[in-house]
Structure 1
Amino acid sequence: MRLAVTGSIATDHLMVFPGRFAEQLIEEHLDRVSLSFLADRLDVRRGGVAANIAFGLGRLGLDPLLVGAAGLDFAEYGSWLRANGVDTSEVRVSETLHTARFVCTTDMDQNQIATFYTGAMAEAPLIDLAAIAARVKDPALVLVGADDPDAMLRHTAAAHSVGIPVAADPSQQLARLDREQARQLVGGARWLFTNEYESALLQERTGWSENDLLDRVGTWITTLAGDGVSLAGRGAPRLVVPAVATESVADPTGAGDAFRAGFLAGVAWQWPQERAAQLGCAMATTVLESVGTQEYKLLASDLIARIGQTYGDDAARAIEPRLAGVS
């Protein structure tokens, strides 16, 4: 089952502030904020939601097709992705702009303040997903991740027009969408991904209630940070899969992308939703313990042990055969 992953390709500049953002905020002056946080660590890493998800799928042996726009500085990054099992043949490389930049500062409570520079991502609306689907003989699923909003809308419409199932993952771009755009992005999706905050924001943006959304999507997957993940579908009981525990959180950036990679791998392997979510949670915890979104070590033995400890031996035995080639 071939998966196409659309969305941002970026370079992450990750900083750590050894204090609490909340202690610097003065309630009566929140309308005029001018703050500077002295960070004591900087890591420059590869990132972007589509690249992160495709990287995770590649490491699991799925040969994902990455669809997005990158800059004239993409050569080294592209080589890295290809070395990790990602097909970059349909990445649009700008002749004038640099790859997008994500600049994020994390405090000691794992709160984050971030800025995203668009760069070459502004050219993403020029990508023709329908033409790509014809060249690669129709991927079985297209994830539409955070990207230039016009590109997200165009990719969603193209996938629906040629009958390719969509996994909608608007995430950070929800704040930029108007009501009609939000409805177009999620309506008719086979899978819908949000976190807890985004689930509320999505309802506000679309004007649809939870039940309205469940009438319009297949399965709505909500990540719950340390509480795991919730899966909801119309007419089915809500399923909550607990998180895989960790005692060492290094950086939360990219954990959600890793969950999506693990979950979509399970979908590609035609696993039950609960089993796919278990692998996703194990992947997310692995990323939590690393700084950066693609620097984690992925070992079959480690994933199987984590899954067995959290979900039991039956789950570990069911997942183990598919992880035989992960090293």
Structure 2
Amino acid sequence: MSLLICGSIATDHLMSFGGRFRDSLVVEQLDKLAVSFLVDDLEIRRGGVAPNMCFGLSRLGVRPVLVGAAGEDFNDYRSWLDRHGVDCSFVHVSETRHTARFVCTTDSSMAQFASFYPGAMSEARLIELAPIVARVGDPEFVLIAADDPEGMLRHTRECRQRGYPFIADPSQQLAFSDGELIRDLVDGAAYLFSNEYESHMIEAKTGWSADEILQRVGTQVTTLGADGVRIMSRGADVVEVKAAPGVAAVEPTGVGDAFRAGFLAALQWGFGHERAAQVGCVLAAYVVETVGTQEYSFSHPQFVERVHSAYGEQAASEVASHLV
């Protein structure tokens, strides 16, 4: 059984300005704004929700299939993912656009000027899933994460048409989507992933109550930040799992992606929701302790030991049977 991860592929260009933007802005002249800032450093990070999840899955020994669109400048990023066990065979490469890019400058007060260039991401709508499935086998799940909205819609509808079990994970696209689009992306999903704020946004924009959403999806997984995760399934008790303890938080970007990767890896191992959430929480802990979404590392015995310290001997023993 294959695991297809559909979503954005991007690089992040992060710069730091030692001063304060507001000291260089004249409020009365903002309509004539033309300023530049001498930055102190530049960090280029691999990003995009789909590669972030694929990287996490590969760290746990699962080989996912990356589905998304990138530019011809994707070669170095592809090599990195290939080396870490991600199947990039089906990434659509644009002939005219660069890989999506997030460019952000942060000043000393944490104010930011940022731009997002979607670029090749807009060509995700050209990707058909059926030829990929014909090559890699029937999917256990197709996860449809934030991406080009038309691409997300096409993949969701194809999953419903062809009977592929799919996971709805609209996340960053929720703020820019209307209720009709969100309803189409969510309805019929085997799982719906969101954080707590996003879960309320889904209710507000779709007009569905929490109970109505649960009637339309198999399971709703809601991350609660430092409080862990809540899992609700039709006809089952609510499952709540605390976040892994002892986390030295450094930077939160990519934490949700890592949780999803751990959760999906555990589902592939045959675990139930509680154990899957525990694996997800431990993997997320590694990311929040690191700057960058794919810069963390661990050995499998180290991961098992962290599961043991967070959730006990039984959890560690079960996870070890798949990792060590």
TM-score normalised to the size of structure 2? 0.89
- What does residue 51 of structure 1 align with? 51
Q: Which segment is superposed worse, 83-92 or 37-46?
A: 37-46
Name the CA distance, whole Å, in 1 between partners of 2:10 and 2:114: 13
Name the CA distance, whole Å, in 2 between partners of 1:284 and 1:111: 26
Name the CA distance, whole Å, in 2 between partners of 1:229 and 1:109: 31
Q: Which segment is superposed worse, 41-50 or 152-161?
A: 41-50
Q: Deviations over 1:283-325 (max 9, x none)?
A: 000011111111111322222222111111111111112122x
Name the CA distance, whole Å, in 1 between partners of 2:280 and 2:20: 29
In structure 2, the CA distance between the partners of 1:309 and 1:212, relative to structure 1 (3 Å rule), is: same
- What does residue 64 of structure 1 align with? 64
Please give the residue correspondences for 1:159-308 in structure 2 after superposition, counting only pairs within 5 Å.
159-308=159-308
Shift of 1:104: 5.0
Shift of 1:37: 10
* Equivalent residues of 1:5, 1:54 under 8 A apart: yes
Q: Deviations over 1:241-268 (max 9, x none)?
A: 1111244222111111011100000111
- Provide the alpha-carbon RMSD of the alignment: 2.8
SS at match of 2:292: coil
Percentage identity across aligned positions?
A: 56
Q: Which segment is superposed worse, 135-144 or 87-96?
A: 135-144
- What does residue 11 of structure 2 align with? 11
Shift of 1:20: 12
Please give the residue correspondences for 1:15-94 in structure 2 after superposition, counting only pairs within 5 Å.
15=15, 42-94=42-94
Name the CA distance, whole Å, in 2 between partners of 1:164 and 1:245: 36
SS at match of 1:192: strand
Structure 1: unaligned runs, 5 residues or longer: 25-31
TM-score normalised to the size of structure 1? 0.88
Name the CA distance, whole Å, in 1 between partners of 2:88 and 2:96: 19
The amino acid of 2:255's aligned partner reads: A
Name the CA distance, whole Å, in 1 between partners of 2:229 and 2:36: 34
In structure 2, the CA distance between the partners of 1:213 and 1:97, relative to structure 1 (3 Å rule), is: same
* Equivalent residues of 2:247, 2:285 under 8 A apart: no
Shift of 1:62: 1.4
In structure 2, the CA distance between the partners of 1:313 and 1:132, relative to structure 1 (3 Å rule), is: same
- What does residue 133 of structure 1 align with? 133
Q: Which segment is superposed worse, 75-84 or 103-112?
A: 103-112
In structure 2, the CA distance between the partners of 1:57 and 1:108, relative to structure 1 (3 Å rule), is: farther
SS at match of 2:96: coil
Shift of 1:120: 0.5
Shift of 1:175: 1.4
* Equivalent residues of 2:60, 2:300 under 8 A apart: no
CA radius of gyration, larger in: 2
In structure 2, the CA distance between the partners of 1:124 and 1:112, relative to structure 1 (3 Å rule), is: same
Structure 2: unaligned runs, 5 residues or longer: 24-30
Between the two proteins, the alignment pairs up a number of residues equal to 315
